[in-house]
């Protein structure tokens, strides 16, 4: 049985006969249960509705005034009280009493005088049924939540796919109908738009597939030794053209070659860093600066992406690592966003036994980053890890330095 229930929550005894109540409480106390006793149906009715306070209740049927049947009727008339196991206690071993009590919602019954082994067996069985009920209720809530997430996911996917598919169809029809046959520049422009939209759809599909694998616990990681410096340089080189195109200064810290060796999934960590860089470049304005680098913190290494962009409001910062976050900041160059990059980055980092974090101040810039252990166990983590421990300062004083370097 659930020992936490046994230790933490008392059993309510509703019995008007004091001697019987003392015997029952004594039996339960000797078995390690806490007990609480009331000697009237009216008090029992008030107490028994405090479902979360008790793990079970023993209820005498024959009490003056408010009977056990009356208590049962009230307790089972409200679905909020239906999970509490109620075992009726009766001195009359009559079938009609038992049938009536069971039909009114009693979980079981015991007949006075008590046989201790039978009493405890019936209690354990009632508590097992309660644990099963609670577990099923929890699973149902999880399934309901997952169904809502899936519906939202499908809605967002359909919405995000519609725009690029419309562009592809439009420009493909333009080429098919020969409307730009004599204009090579326009043909090249149409083909480029089609290719870019296809790349965007492929990016979306890859992220959707990764989300699905993570939710099913099937996203495999290939842990091998890798040089963190190579990861930093690869991601930096990938985004340097995009940054220059937007007139954003992208800086790789001078110490990148001194970065340590890690045991990680090399490709996945590159994807994580590229997601952070993509986010920074996407939301920065021309003239802003972005810096990517690393630093050691005890037995972990921290990889960071700092920018002098618009920053994120305090009210919205808690949503950035969620799927499809709704934030007021918009891409500055009309870039498309799937809304899954940062959430995937966080999931992958946590699977490496690391932590993802964000520090931001509206109007001053942001720092996104993650920590990884220097000595990884190489085992995937299934449980969620919390955000990294807070470090001093929201954004290091890099803005002026980076802008000076740009000049």
Q: What is the mean pLDDT of residues 238-243?
A: 89
User: Which tokens in the block code for residue 220?
Assistant: 């495999």
What is the average per-residue pLDDT within 240-245?
90
Is residue 336 over pLDDT 60? Answer: yes
Average pLDDT over residues 369-384: 66
Identify which of 348, 345, 228 has the alpha carbon closest to the alpha carbon of residue 278.
Answer: 345
What is the sign, positive or negative, of the torsion defined by CA atoms of 54, 55, 60, 65?
positive
Which ranges of 216-262 does DSSP label H, i.e. alpha helix? 228-245
Model confidence, pTM: 0.56
The pLDDT mean for the chain works out to: 82
Of the candidate ranges 7-11, 74-78, 266-270, 320-324, the one whose mean pLDDT is the lowest: 7-11
Q: What SS3 state is found at 239? A: helix
Inter-CA distances, 85 with 37, 94, 129, 261, Å = 16, 21, 8, 57
* Most confident range, picked from 24-33, 246-255, 371-380: 246-255
- Lowest-confidence region among 73-77, 209-213, 350-354, 376-380: 376-380
In this prediction, residue 273 carries a pLDDT of 94
What average pLDDT does this structure show over 160-184? 83
Task: Supply 337's token pair.
Answer: 């966003």
Domains and CATH numbers, the chain: 3-114 (3.40.50.2300), 149-215 (1.10.287.130), 224-406 (3.30.565.10)
Burial class (CB in 10 A: 0-12, 13-18, 19+), 351: buried
Give the angle 196-209-228 at the CA atoms, nearest 5°: 80
pLDDT tens by residue, 72-87: 888 888 766 677 889 9
pLDDT of 261-286, one tens digit each?
999 999 899 989 998 998 999 999 99
Kindly state the helix (H) or strand (E) to which residue 167 belongs, with its residue range.
helix 116-176
Which pLDDT score is estimated for 154?
Answer: 73
Q: What pLDDT is stored for residue 401 in this prediction?
A: 43
Which DSSP string do the residues of 342-371 spell out, in sequence order? Answer: HHHHHHHHHHTT-EEEEEEETTTEEEEEEE
Query: CA-CA distance, 248 to 89, in Å (whole number)?
Result: 78
**Percentage of the chain lying above the pLDDT 90 cut:** 29
């Amino acid at each position: 049985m659930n020992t936490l229930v046994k230790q933490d929550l008392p059993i309510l005894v509703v019995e008007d006969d004091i001697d019987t109540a003392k015997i029952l409480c004594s039996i339960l106390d000797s078995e390690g249960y806490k007990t609480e006793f009331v000697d009237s149906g009216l008090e029992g009715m008030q107490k028994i509705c405090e479902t979360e306070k008790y793990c079970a209740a023993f209820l005498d049927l024959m009490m003056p005034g408010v009977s056990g049947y009356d208590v049962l009727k009230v307790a089972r008339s409200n679905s909020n009280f239906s999970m509490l196991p109620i075992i009726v206690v009766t001195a009359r071993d009559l079938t009609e009493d038992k049938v009536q009590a069971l039909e009114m919602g009693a979980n079981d019954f015991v007949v006075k005088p008590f046989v201790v082994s039978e009493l405890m067996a019936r209690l354990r069985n009632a508590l097992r049924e309660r644990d099963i009920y609670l577990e099923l209720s929890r699973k149902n809530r999880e399934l309901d939540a997952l169904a809502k997430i899936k519906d939202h996911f499908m809605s967002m996917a359909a919405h995000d796919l519609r725009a690029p598919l419309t562009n592809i169809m439009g420009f493909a029809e333009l080429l098919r109908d020969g409307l730009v046959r004599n204009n090579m520049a326009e043909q090249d422009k149409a083909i480029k738009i089609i290719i870019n939209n296809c790349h965007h759809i492929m990016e979306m599909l890859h992220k959707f597939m990764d989300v699905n694998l993570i939710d099913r616990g099937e996203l495999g990681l290939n842990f091998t030794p890798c040089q963190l410096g190579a990861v930093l340089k690869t991601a930096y080189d990938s985004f340097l053209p995009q940054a220059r195109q937007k007139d954003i200064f992208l800086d790789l810290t001078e110490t990148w070659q001194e970065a340590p060796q890690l045991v990680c999934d090399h490709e996945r960590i590159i994807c994580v860093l590229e997601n952070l860089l993509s986010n920074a470049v996407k939301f920065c304005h021309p003239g802003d600066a972005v810096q990517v680098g690393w630093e050691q913190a005890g037995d972990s290494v921290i990889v960071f992406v700092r920018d002098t962009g618009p920053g994120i409001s305090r009210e919205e910062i808690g949503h950035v690592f969620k799927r499809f976050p709704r934030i007021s900041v918009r891409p500055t160059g009309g870039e498309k966003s799937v809304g899954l990059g940062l959430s995937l980055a966080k999931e992958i980092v946590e699977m490496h036994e690391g932590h993802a974090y964000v520090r931001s101040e509206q109007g001053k810039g942001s720092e996104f980053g993650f920590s990884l252990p220097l000595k990884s166990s190489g085992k995937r983590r299934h449980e969620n890890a919390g955000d990294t421990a807070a470090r001093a300062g929201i954004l290091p004083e890099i803005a002026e330095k980076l802008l000076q370097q740009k000049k």
